A and B are shown apart, each in its own frame.
Chain A
């Protein structure tokens, strides 16, 4: 198992450009998440998905979009990149049953700089 994989590892964007951060998991997890991590601030939830075709906003969704067409993939789209989106982005996945919580497993991250 590769676990949770993310591409690219690093990216520099100019203000106003757009890009898609890729995330895939091979653990057959139904739940997937996108976080951003800013220095000294812990992780903030951007979007999450409880299964293919179902997504929902997290704590900081503005400026981002997601889709979940398959169980394995959960791409994060940045439209009109802004300097405030400079951060490290982590994708995570977990297996969830109704009323039962399971641990989240994280990818290696994408370090994004917007200049």
Chain B
């Protein structure tokens, strides 16, 4: 199946630091989504991106849809302990019928 390369696989940071993670692919995507999953819960949508070059913020989170439509990144500024969790990127491939392709996730640990 189609692959999304998400990196890094895990991050250990101190509270207050900024975080950056990204997803890349060899294929073109129409939509990029970023989700966060807390332990024992389902993924929760953080940010949705619909146009190449789009930059969208949600509080301390900022995400961008790459100009080539093959990548996206997520930044978290001034991290806090509740940012701990797994962050997933997901994309809707050009020509797909509402199906999403998911990255393998970035596990974020924030040390208070």
Contacts and interface: CB of A to CB of B under 8 A. Distances in A.
A58 B33 contact: no
A105 B98 contact: no
Interface residues of B, number: 26
Interface of A: 4, 31, 33, 40-45, 48, 50, 58-59, 90, 92, 94, 96, 101, 103-109
B67 interface: no
Given A42-B88, A103-B33, A90 B42 contact: yes
Interface of B: 1, 4, 6, 30-31, 33, 35, 40-45, 48, 50, 88, 90, 92, 97-100, 102-105
B33 A108 contact: no
Given A106-B42, A108-B41, 19 more contacts: A31-B98, A40-B104, A41-B104, A42-B105, A43-B43, A43-B88, A43-B102, A59-B1, A92-B42, A96-B98, A101-B31, A101-B50, A101-B92, A103-B48, A104-B33, A104-B90, A108-B42, A109-B41, A109-B42
Contacts of B30: 101
A92 B40 CA distance: 16
